[in-house]
Structures are given as structure tokens and as C-alpha cells.
Amino acid sequence: MMDKNGKGGRGEDAPLREMDTVPLDDDIDDDEEDEEEDFATPPAQPTTPAQQQEHEQEHEQKQKKEPASSAKAPARKKNPSSSGGSRGSSSSSGGHDPASGMAFHQQDDPHDADFEALPNVVKVKKEYEGHMGSTLGQSRQQTFTLPLGVAFPASEASTAPPISTEMDPSAPSPGENPNPYPYDANKHPLCKRIVDFLATEHLEGKTWKGGKSKTEIPKMALAKLLRGTKHDRKEVSEYFDSLSGPWGTMGSKHPLNSSGDYDYTAIGLAFILLNFDDAALPREIKYIIATRLMPPNATDPVLTVPKSLVSVLETENHLLMLNGSLYLFNLYATRARLAQPVDVSGLKSFLYVLLKEILRAGPWAYNSRPFLGHFIIALLVLHESCEPDFRHLCSKVLDFLVFCFALGSIDFRRRAPFRRKADHAGKPGLMDNALSAMSLVWAERAGIRHTAQSTDPRFLPISDKAIYAIAASCVP
């Protein structure tokens, strides 16, 4: 999305305009873990090795005949308080030909080959692919995306800084580097409604455990910090101060790991740690979150389901949330001088491999409404909180996923009849997807506002995940 000057960002000067009314859901199911919605139609894949080889040859020939567009994308707004990187995302057309547009976006950045040749990256990629190809893995080593039917938005590959496995020693401490795009209640009425909806409920007495609380508590705390009243900030501080430790363990929940899923909570806590200054959240409370509530200080990537009897590849959203939380915790601990700099090369290498795979083959959970939402949230958290060299890759993946969602939503095609459970077959809701609510937030920043979106009470209960889009500066 762009503002009227062609720049990515908040669009402060763009007047709000109304778009055609789109009906909200008639029936909203609050239990997001029980319902799934198609994310995109899976591309038809070649069924034999010969067909696959023939397709790849045809695709390569087409790329040679019609090279990717060399048009430069609009420059991003620079983050004034960090070195060598940019906050926010912008994109431009990748050319009129769909194959060249997709190829331009998916192509490697100039320094990718050097990074992929590093021993740590080679090692973690081999281990990851080994789990994918195992009997109990979710093998898709031979899958690839087919060119889409329209030109794909292109990111600024030529401006990407080289990725390093080392931490950036020049990065300022979190207290000196607050989110440069604060939420503005006066200019964004929809965002204000969502923030107020989440911030109104009291944290006091909220149970610190799994279930819905695993995601509700970080979202409520984030909303209260965004609203920013003295009472809100005090309530958040007192609640975190009252907690003695994590409510569970990281990784997928299953009979042998019944306390799992804590990474759903940890990724939200990581966002709070790295994106609010000491005036919003006192340093002593951040210290409590970092030392009591964040996961153990591990530096090796986690690829398999914890406590399983045999080696089973972890699910996609857990891979990103779990390893992303560990990476961001180490980043915070180093910047806040809580610990000596540690070797995060393994974590950073795996996150790189995982995100590059998404660009190549799309998400595993392409048809999962709740789980894709959690993946997008983790990406937004990483984009806002990680080092500048890694932020560009997060931006590319966010652009890719949001574009696929937009393409699949044309003419209400996301009114999908399929649900994972038969009980939900009669609920073809349009707005019960995290990306639907996030898209309205991003549209409002660009000056586009739906006539009913800030007043219809049916929208608010399904808009909670959009709090991360409100707090983040990124606009895919």
C-alpha cells in the first residue's frame, strides 16, 4: 500500500475515502483453533519427474526471453533511530509478464549466495531438509510455485543489505529505539476501535496459562501500551510483575508435551520488549519479562516437536514463533546489556532458510485460517524487532503472503465452503481471517476506510490479531 506520494507508511496526509460497503460476517465463531479457512488454492503440481523437468525448462526459457523488470521501487522511509535499514515496506510492479514479475520477486538478493555458502547455513539447511524428507516429515522438497496470473509486486532487491550471522554491534538499546510509527488514535478510527476493544478488559485476574490466554494476554498488554494512559501502563506493569515464570513450554502441544504452545505467548512478549521505550514500560518490568517469562537462553535452532518419541518435524508456525522468540530474546538481552553477546548464527541461519523456503514454495498452512494468522503475526514481530539486514527478507515474505491473500480474495473468492470440521461447513464468513482485519488496518493508513468497519460490533471480536498490524510500522 502507498500513500498519495507513492511512499510506504502511515499516509498521514492522505484524506480518508470510503469504499463500497462489504457485508461483515453473519455468524462469528470465537474458537479460532477449531476452524480453518482456505488461504489460497494450491497450485497444480507436475505429477511425474519428466513433467516437472519439462515445466522447469519452459519456465527458464520464458525468463530468458522476458527478463525481469528493472524499474526501481519507491524508496522506503528510513528508520531514523537505527543504522542501515528501513521501517515499513513498499513495492512496485514487477513487470507486465506474470512469470517475470514472480521471478523478480523470488530472485535472490545480491548477497544471498555468499550468506548461503556459510558453514552454519549449509549445516542447518541440510538438517532441516533431512527432517522434511524423513518418513514422518512433511516432505515438499520437489515443490515450487507456478507463475501467478498477474504481475507480482517487486521488492527492492538491489537495495538489500548483506545478511550477517553476527549481531549488529552498533544497534541501540531497546529503550533508545522505540517504534518510530506510533499508533495515532486521532487519524485512525478503526485502529482506535480495535485498541479500545482489547484494552478495556482488565488484566487483573486474567489466568496465566494456555488455551485462549496464550494469545489474549500479549494482545491485551499491547493494546493497553498503545492506548498509553497512566492507568493502562500501570496495569500492564503490575500484571507482569505478579508473574513468577512461564506458564508452559515451547513447541507443539501433544500428550507428551501437555504444557506446550508457550511460543504463542513468547513471540508477543518479544514484540513488547523490543518496541517500547522505558517511558511506556519501565526498564525493571522489561527485566522481569526477559528473565522470568521469556524462554531459556538457547542459541541452537529447534526443528523437531519437543518430547516426541521419534524425530518429527515441527509445524511451520511453531518453527517461526519458537526460533523467532529465541533469536529476539538473545537480541534484547545483548542490547539491554543483560548478557554478553552470544552466537545467534544457528538461529539466524535457520530463520533465513525457512523464510526463503516460503518464498519458493509458499506456506505449509496455505488453507489454515488460524495458523496462517499466527505465522503473519510472527513475521510482523520479526520485521519490527530484528536487525536491519534481516528485515528486508521478512518484508519480502510479508509482501508475498499478503499479495497471495489479496489475489485469492478478488470477487469474494475467499467465501470458501470448506472447513476442517463439518460443524463449520455452513459458516462462509468473509472477515473471520486475521489478514482480513489487518488489510483494513493497512487500508486505513493509506486513506481508505470502509463505511461500517469502525461501527459494526460484529467486526471487533474477530479483529484482535490486527493489533500487531496497528502496532507495527510495516505496510505490505
261 assigned to some structural domain? yes
Q: Average of pLDDT values for 151-169?
A: 54
9 assigned to some structural domain? no
Most confident of 113-127, 209-223, 337-351: 209-223
Q: Average of pLDDT values for 96-122?
A: 65
pLDDT tens digits along 256-275: 999 999 999 999 999 999 99
Of residues 44 and 274, which shows the higher confidence score? 274
Question: Hey, which residues does 86 pair with through a beta bridge?
Answer: 78
CA–CA dist 5, 13 (Å, integer)? 9
pLDDT at 27: 38
pLDDT at 369: 67
Most confident of 146-160, 222-236, 403-417: 222-236
Res. 244: pLDDT tops 80: yes
Of residues 338 and 192, which shows the higher confidence score? 192
The share of the chain scoring above pLDDT 90, in percent, equals: 25
Taking the CA atoms of residue 91, residue 432, residue 272 and residue 84 in that order, the dihedral angle to the nearest 10 degrees is -10
Res. 147: pLDDT tops 90: no
Total of domains in the chain:
1
Most confident of 103-117, 165-179, 294-308: 294-308
Burial of residue 464, with CB atoms counted within 10 A of its CB: 0-12 exposed, 13-18 middle, 19 or more buried: buried
pLDDT band at 462 (very low <50, low <70, confident <90, very high): confident
pLDDT at 173: 53
What's the angle, vertex CA 442, arms to CA 440 and CA 446, rounded to 5?
A: 110
Nearest CA among 246, 232, 328, 245 for reference residue 281: 232
Q: Is residue 473 within 8 Å of 182, Cβ to Cβ? A: no
Nearest CA among 393, 356, 358, 350 for reference residue 375: 358
Pairing of strands 92-93, 17-19: unpaired
Alpha helices in 259-368 (DSSP H): 262-275, 283-288, 316-335, 345-361
pLDDT at 36: 36
Alpha-carbon distance values, 190 to 7, 201, 318, 433, 476 (Å): 22, 18, 30, 17, 18
Res. 64: pLDDT tops 50: yes
pLDDT band at 409 (very low <50, low <70, confident <90, very high): confident
Q: Is residue 395 within 8 Å of 76, Cβ to Cβ? A: no
Q: Average of pLDDT values for 74-81?
A: 36
pLDDT band at 255 (very low <50, low <70, confident <90, very high): very high
pLDDT at 237: 96
pLDDT band at 459 (very low <50, low <70, confident <90, very high): confident
Q: Is residue 402 within 8 Å of 345, Cβ to Cβ? A: no
pLDDT band at 35 (very low <50, low <70, confident <90, very high): very low
Res. 100: pLDDT tops 80: no
Residue 449 sits at φ, ψ, to 5 deg, of -135, 130
Res. 139: pLDDT tops 90: no
Most confident of 68-77, 161-170, 245-254: 245-254
The share of the chain scoring above pLDDT 70, in percent, equals: 59
**The residue type at 97:** D
CA–CA dist 190, 187 (Å, integer)? 9
The DSSP code for 365 is T
Q: Is residue 118 within 8 Å of 162, Cβ to Cβ? A: no
Scored b (16 or more CB within 10 A) or e, 373-408 reads bbbbbbbbbbbbbbbbbbbbbbbbbbbbbbbbbeeb
Q: Average of pLDDT values for 46-70?
A: 55
Among the residue ranges 52-61, 135-144, 412-421, the one predicted with the least confidence is 135-144
59 assigned to some structural domain? no
pLDDT tens digits along 343-391: 888 899 999 999 988 887 777 766 566 777 888 999 999 999 888 878 8
Res. 4: pLDDT tops 70: no
Res. 222: pLDDT tops 50: yes
Q: Is residue 66 within 8 Å of 97, Cβ to Cβ? A: yes
Scan for cell 554478553, then name that residue. Answer: 340
**The residue type at 153:** P
62 assigned to some structural domain? no
Scan for cell 505429477, then name that residue. Answer: 47
224 assigned to some structural domain? yes
- In the three-class reduction of DSSP (H, G, I as helix; E, B as strand; rest coil), residue 256 is classed as coil
pLDDT tens digits along 281-308: 999 999 999 999 988 778 889 999 999 8
Q: Is residue 108 within 8 Å of 160, Cβ to Cβ? A: no
Taking the CA atoms of residue 335, residue 339, residue 343 and residue 349 in that order, the dihedral angle to the nearest 10 degrees is -50
45 assigned to some structural domain? no
47 assigned to some structural domain? no
Scan for cell 520479526, then name that residue. Answer: 382
Of residues 216 and 365, which shows the higher confidence score? 216
Nearest CA among 182, 179, 191 for reference residue 16: 191
Nearest CA among 464, 110, 61, 471 for reference residue 275: 471
pLDDT at 215: 93
Res. 211: pLDDT tops 90: no
Q: Average of pLDDT values for 81-106?
A: 43
278: which 3 cell numbers?
A: 522505558
85 assigned to some structural domain? yes
Res. 32: pLDDT tops 70: no
Of residues 439 and 361, which shows the higher confidence score? 439
Q: What is the pTM of this model?
A: 0.71
Q: Average of pLDDT values for 433-454?
A: 80
Of residues 275 and 59, which shows the higher confidence score? 275
Alpha-carbon distance values, 238 to 199, 205, 209 (Å): 15, 11, 17
The DSSP code for 82 is S
Residue range(s) defining the domain that contains residue 271: 17-39+73-471
